[in-house]
Amino acid sequence: MSTTTPPSTTRRRILARAATAAVVAVGLAACGSGGGAPAAGGAPAGAGDKLVMGFAQVGAESGWRTANTKSIQEAAGQAGVDLKFSDAQQKQENQIKAIRSYIQQKVDVIAFSPVVETGWDAVLLEAKRANIPVILTDRAIDSPDTSLYKTFLGSDFVVEGKKAGEWLVQHYQGKSDPVAIVELQGTTGAAPAIDRKEGFAEATKVAPNLQVVASQTGDFTRSGGKQVMEAFLKSQPKIDVVYAHNDDMALGAIEAIEAAGKVPGKDITIISVDAVKDGMAALSAGKINFIVECNPLLGTQLMDLAKKVRAGEQVPQRVLTEETTFDQATAAKVLSSRQY
């Protein structure tokens, strides 16, 4: 039943290097702008014209993803960017096909949120040879060749996992009885699944009574979370905590817990990541106990970066998004004004 995903040491080294080189949080106004030379042969064809961006989206697996897509489409409209958009339905082969088609169409910039971390080098080399700059959004890739993309805009998923773990350590502070945790992992091989697992494990190792007794992928979907939680409720003699890698899986788990005659948020403590409106509603209703925010509103920053990249300006290798956390009281206060 249990599955584990080893952390990627290669990628971690790369990201650490990139982080040391240049990290900017949110405000792109702070980005350095360099020489003004055209991006490696890519700019002249479309210079001065409407920027054409090919965006290969992961899918529509979660409320987060829907908000992310909306943000990108709206920001493209506002920035006057001609957006070619594709939905990979959570399949890497579909994303690779979409990227190849953008290369053939000679778009100005390709942006994508990789379904999984590995297996991108060949197609990104094709983009590089065609002089089309690539921007990673939301999720990173695991490749030793950082020249395959210009920048990576998105959250630090390890930090998100740590925040979830730190809250739990605090929640059980002073208690030494065993705490049985079940983990609903995101898509196998995806950066947020790998990193949120790693960050949580790191933060909770200070409290050896907090034990992950089962861990399985629910693929970031509500139905996946429900199905896996139903199986956990049958197979595990005791479940104290659910750690879900996103709100949708937590919401599916809540359905399973209620169907089993237990009270989510009371009989079983629930922690998740995202803070989408449905998750925040469940948090303020007491069915979830804590949510770590992951910001999907990346559209405006992405369009700004794309324009800079096409103009040949230097951009930071890593652009981090700013995020917070919510407990039940703070969720209730901001629920009505939540944008997504």
Give contact residues for ligand AHR (rule: CB under 6 A): 61-62, 64-65, 138-139, 192, 220, 246, 248, 273-274, 294
Q: Which is nearer to ligand AHR, 43 or 294 (CB)?
A: 294
Tokens of 164: 């979830």
Q: Measured from the CB of residue 266, what is the shortest distance to ligand AHR in angstroms?
A: 25
Q: Is residue 78 classed exposed, middle or buried when 0-12, 13-18 and 19+ CB atoms within 10 A define those classes?
A: exposed
Helices 63-79, 277-284: axis angle to 10 degrees equals 130
Q: Which is nearer to ligand AHR, 43 or 184 (CB)?
A: 184
Q: How far is CA 295 from the centre of its chain?
A: 8
Give the full edge-to-edge strand order of the sheet including 318-320: 23-25, 318-320, 151-154, 134-137, 109-112, 52-57, 82-87
Q: Measured from the CB of residue 211, what is the shortest distance to ligand AHR in angstroms?
A: 24
Q: Measured from the CB of residue 324, what is the shortest distance to ligand AHR in angstroms?
A: 15
Yes or no: say if 180 and 48 are a contact pair by the CB < 8 Å rule.
Answer: no
Q: Measured from the CB of residue 155, what is the shortest distance to ligand AHR in angstroms?
A: 7
Q: Which is nearer to ligand AHR, 102 or 157 (CB)?
A: 157
Q: Looking at residue 86, what DSSP letter applies?
A: E
Q: Measured from the CB of residue 273, what is the shortest distance to ligand AHR in angstroms?
A: 6
Q: Which is nearer to ligand AHR, 132 or 244 (CB)?
A: 244
Among the listed residues 125, 121, 126, the one whose alpha carbon sits nearest the alpha carbon of residue 10: 121
Q: Measured from the CB of residue 222, what is the shortest distance to ligand AHR in angstroms?
A: 10
Q: Measured from the CB of residue 294, what is the shortest distance to ligand AHR in angstroms?
A: 5
Tokens of 55: 């965006």
Q: Which is nearer to ligand AHR, 61 or 142 (CB)?
A: 61
Among the listed residues 325, 286, 331, 42, the one whose alpha carbon sits nearest the alpha carbon of residue 203: 325
- Tell me the C-alpha distance between 86 and 195, whole Å: 26
Q: Which residue's structure tokens are 């490749």?
A: 143
What residue spans of the chain are helical by DSSP H? 9-21, 63-79, 92-104, 121-129, 157-171, 191-204, 222-235, 247-259, 277-284, 299-310, 328-334
Q: Measured from the CB of residue 96, what is the shortest distance to ligand AHR in angstroms?
A: 18
Contacts (Cβ under 8 Å, ≥6 apart) of 101: 54, 86
Q: Which is nearer to ligand AHR, 199 or 312 (CB)?
A: 199
Q: Measured from the CB of residue 40, what is the shortest distance to ligand AHR in angstroms?
A: 28
- Tell me the C-alpha distance between 333 and 6, whole Å: 38
Q: Which is nearer to ligand AHR, 187 or 204 (CB)?
A: 187
Q: Which is nearer to ligand AHR, 79 or 249 (CB)?
A: 249
Q: Which is nearer to ligand AHR, 56 or 179 (CB)?
A: 56
- Our CA angle for 127, 133, 134, nearest 5°, is 80
